[in-house]
Amino acid sequence: RIPVIIDTDPGHDDAIALMMALASDRLDIRGITIVAGNNTIENTTNNAIRIIENFGRSIKVYKGAERPMVQILETPVDIHGKTGLDGTSLLEAKGRAEDKNAIQFLEDELKSTSERITIIAIGPLTNIGTLLAAAPEMKDRIDEICIMGGAALGGNKTPTSEFNIWQDPEAAHIVFTSGIPVTMCGLDVTYKSSLFEADVERINKIGNKAGILASEILDFYGKAIEGRGNKGIAVHDAVAVAKILRPDLFKSEMYNVVIDLDGKYTRGCTVTDLINVTGAHKNAEVVLDVDRERFVDFMVESLEKLGSL
C-alpha cells in the first residue's frame, strides 16, 4: 500500500477526490491535513470530518494554515457556497480535528517512519510550503507531491493563474523549488477529465451513500461553474488522486515550471517551459492528457465500491 497524506480544502471536487481515496485499498492514508482555500479553515476542516464520518471511517484530521503565507485569504463562495461544501445532505460533524496542528503532524509523521510518504495536495500549498520553509530537510522523506494546481496554459482564477496556486504563490514557489518530485495535475488535464451529462447520469444511478453524495455535489457544483469557459464538469481534485492510483490513465512530460510571484497580471502563474527554451532544470512532471472514458469508469467504480464497503 502507498503511504499517503492528503492535504485538502473541501470543497466539492475535494470531496469526490476524498471519496475515491477512501474507496481504494491501495492507499494507506496516514492522515488528512486541512488548509484554508475554498473556505475558512474552520469550514474546510469541518467538511472533511463530515465526509469521513459519512463513511464511518476514523482517519485523523489535522487543521492547518488559516491563511496563505503572504497574501490574504479570498474564498470562492460563488463556486463552493458559504460553507465551502453547500448543497449536500451531509450531517453535522460529531468529532473534531486532532489537537496537533497539520504542519506539526506532517513533520512528526514524516520523521516517524523510514518509508517515503506521498503527499496528495489538492488545495493551496500553504501547509506544505510552511513545513518546507521551517524544515527543508523533510524533503528527503517525501516520495512525491502530487498536486492539483496550476496549468501549463491558462488559468481559472485569473487569465493566467489557477486557483490553488493563485491563492498561495509563495508556498507553491517553495514546493516547486524544493527538489521533491512534483507532479502537476493542472487545468490542462483536469479540463480534459470533465464529466458530461451521460457521466453524471451514471453517477446519479449508483444510489449508494457515495453515489448520493457525489450526485448532490455534482448538482450544486455543476450549476455553480456553468458557463465558466469549460464544457462539462471538471472535478479537478479527483484527477490528482487518480494519477496516484491509476497512472496508466494519464500522459505526462517533465518540464521546467516556475511560479510567477511578481507579475502585475500573471501572479500565481505556473510558467511551464513547454518548448525547453530556458534549458532550465525539469523540476515537474506535468500531466497533460487523460483517457477520459476510463477515468470516468474509475470514478464510478470507486463510488460504487465505497458505498458498499
Q: Report the residue count for the chain.
A: 309
Per CB under 6 A, does 193 bind ligand BDR? Answer: no
- Residues 6 or more apart in contact with residue 2 via CB below 8 angstroms: 26, 27, 28, 118, 244
Q: H/E element holding 50? A: helix 41-54
Angle between helices 12-23 and 236-245 (to 10 degrees): 20
Binding region for Ca ion (CB under 5 A) out of 8-16, 208-216, 221-229, 240-248: 8-16
Q: x/- string (CB under 6 A) for ligand BDR, residues 210-249?
A: --------------------------xx------------
Closest CB 269 distance from ligand BDR, rounded Å: 13
Per CB under 5 A, does 7 bind Ca ion? Answer: no
User: DSSP character for 195?
Assistant: B
Among Ca ion, ligand BDR, none, the one that 129 touches (CB under a kind-dependent 5 to 8 A) is none
- Which of residues 186 and 211 has its CB atom nearest to ligand BDR in the complex? 186
Q: Is 236 a catalytic residue?
A: yes
Using CB under 6 A, which of 11, 31, 84, 268 touches ligand BDR? 11
Which residue has 494519477 as its cell numbers? 243
Pairing of strands 250-255, 284-290: antiparallel
C-alpha 141 chain-centroid distance:
20
Q: x/- string (CB under 6 A) for ligand BDR, residues 111-140?
A: -----------xx-----------------
At 285, list the grid cell. 512532471
Per CB under 5 A, does 168 bind Ca ion? Answer: no
| Residues assigned a catalytic role | 236
